[in-house]
Amino acid sequence: MPGTQGEDEAMRETTALRIGAGLDAVTVSGLTGDERAEVVESWARCGVEAVEPPARADAHRDADTARPWLQWHEDLVFLATSRAIESARGTHLLFHAACLAALDTGAAIVLVAASGTGKTTATRRLGPHLAYLTDETAIIAPDGLAVTPYPKPLSVLEARGMRPKTQQGPDDLGLGPTLPDARLARVAVLDRVRHPAGPVTPRAEVMELVAALEALVPQTSSLVRLPRGLVTLCRVLDAVGGAQRLVYAEAEDLRGVVDGLLAAPPTPVTPAWEALTDEELRASAGAAAPGAVSRCAVDDGILTDHGRLVLLASEHLVVLDGLGPSVWLLLDEPRTAADVVGRLRAEGPVPDDAEARVREAMDALVAAELARTG
């Protein structure tokens, strides 16, 4: 077992290892011979090379470490994944997802899910028949949809279900090869039925846009760092035929569904939304009179064909419906509820309780920290 107590410290390697992490890399030093061999084997697909030890390695393991090897290796996975994410912030879409691809075409699918809800299991069950690109962080170029592989070892709980996890290389698990030129073809959200009352037919269901955004945005990283990140995500979804919800009971049941999605090129869909203008994203201009409400600036936003307003503010997605979109758009400058009703009345009839309803919509904006009172 690597890293056991009493190990001969003379065996600790004097060279460091450089491990690819997305568009960047991490350096590791201070490993014993056994630890080094395990890292080289399990991280081989990320590209591992021996380098001269830097003045300060990203991760250094020495004789005084209090962390057992399994914990140290799990922490290395976290470090490398953080570096992979950091390397692509502001330039790429980053999904918390597994990513697999068809071996013959390189058409890739991301399987989006929260931690502990099926990504690694799906990767292990589907991966032997497909190309393995990652089980954790999918890095997608918005222009062209190229996938940057991050084929890290898979973090697997042992039989007792206790941490730390063991790190098993994709070759040890028999996963398909890692393709350097895969391109995104499908976006899918995993929806496992954990305690089915009866048989579950594995299937892909096209998700309505707002439902897709509500599922996907929390499983992205640094979307606000990407210029017009929400708009970019919507454009990518349109290009791949929208998001799919994969309903299943056991991961192995998904093979036919995933194969079917990857076999046919996706049909781009007509956008059912329009991007907000820069002016509509800005905070209200001008000083607020007593009782007036001012909107706060947001990072991005779209208006759907069904009249819902979807706003991205500091990584949080907020969906406005009813009067919310109209009130938001009319707060280009600070206004009272009476001011807003006056504007609405100029466009057409309004109900008798319009001012109360507008005030309620304003209160909801303030509660969501999308607006503030004067």
- The predicted pLDDT at position 159 comes to 63
Q: Which of 255, 259, 253 lies closest to 126, judged by CA?
A: 255
- The predicted pLDDT at position 5 comes to 46
- The predicted pLDDT at position 191 comes to 95
Q: Is the dihedral of CA 149, 74, 191, 113 positive or negative?
A: negative
Q: Which of 99, 92, 73, 97 lies closest to 19, judged by CA?
A: 73
- The predicted pLDDT at position 2 comes to 52
Q: How far apart are CA 330 and CA 295, in angstroms?
A: 9
Answer for the pair 305, 273: CB distance below 8 angstroms, yes or no. yes
- The predicted pLDDT at position 108 comes to 98
Q: Is the dihedral of CA 160, 164, 168, 173 positive or negative?
A: positive
H or E, element range at 211: helix 209-216
Please check the confidence at residue 142 and state whether its pLDDT lies above 90: yes
Q: For residue range 329-338, what is the model confidence (pLDDT) as tens digits?
A: 999 999 999 9
Answer for the pair 233, 93: CB distance below 8 angstroms, yes or no. yes
Answer for the pair 215, 243: CB distance below 8 angstroms, yes or no. yes
Per the DSSP assignment, residues forming a β-bridge with 203 are 247
Q: For residue range 18-57, what is the model confidence (pLDDT) as tens digits?
A: 999 999 999 999 999 999 999 999 999 999 999 998 989 9
Answer for the pair 157, 165: CB distance below 8 angstroms, yes or no. yes
Q: Identify residue 309 by its one-letter amino acid code.
A: L
- Counted residue by residue, the chain has a size of 374
Per the DSSP assignment, residues forming a β-bridge with 18 are 27, 49
Q: For residue range 45-99, what is the model confidence (pLDDT) as tens digits?
A: 999 999 998 989 999 997 656 789 999 999 999 999 999 999 999 999 999 999 9
- The predicted pLDDT at position 362 comes to 96
- The predicted pLDDT at position 12 comes to 60
Sheet containing strand 16-21, strands side by side? 48-51, 16-21, 24-29, 59-60
Q: For residue range 230-255, what is the model confidence (pLDDT) as tens digits?
A: 999 999 999 999 999 999 999 999 99
- The total of other beta-carbon atoms located within 10 Å of residue 152's CB is 27
Please check the confidence at residue 297 and state whether its pLDDT lies above 50: yes
Q: How far apart are CA 52 and CA 74, in angstroms?
A: 24
- The predicted pLDDT at position 63 comes to 62
Q: What mean pLDDT, rounded, does the chain reach?
A: 93
- The predicted pLDDT at position 286 comes to 93
- The predicted pLDDT at position 64 comes to 55
User: In the 8-state DSSP scheme, what is residue 335?
Assistant: B
Q: Which of 117-126, 212-221, 316-325, 330-339 has the lowest mean pLDDT?
A: 117-126
| Angle made by CA atoms 326, 332, 337, in degrees to the nearest 5 | 55
**How do beta strands 183-192 and 107-112 pair?**
parallel
CA dihedral 273, 279, 282, 285 (to 10 degrees): -140
Instruction: Please count the helices (runs of H) and the strands (runs of E) in the chain.
Output: 10, 20
The angle, 0 to 180 degrees and rounded to 10, between the axes of the packed helices 337-347 and 354-367 is 120
Q: Which of 9-18, 27-36, 277-286 has the lowest mean pLDDT?
A: 9-18
- The predicted pLDDT at position 65 comes to 65
Portion of the chain with pLDDT greater than 70, in percent: 95
Q: What's the pTM value of the predicted model, to 2 decimals?
A: 0.92
Domains and CATH numbers, the chain: 9-83 (no CATH), 89-271 (3.40.50), 274-373 (3.90.930)
Q: How far apart are CA 61 and CA 172, in angstroms?
A: 24
Please check the confidence at residue 13 and state whether its pLDDT lies above 90: no
Q: How far apart are CA 374 and CA 371, in angstroms?
A: 10
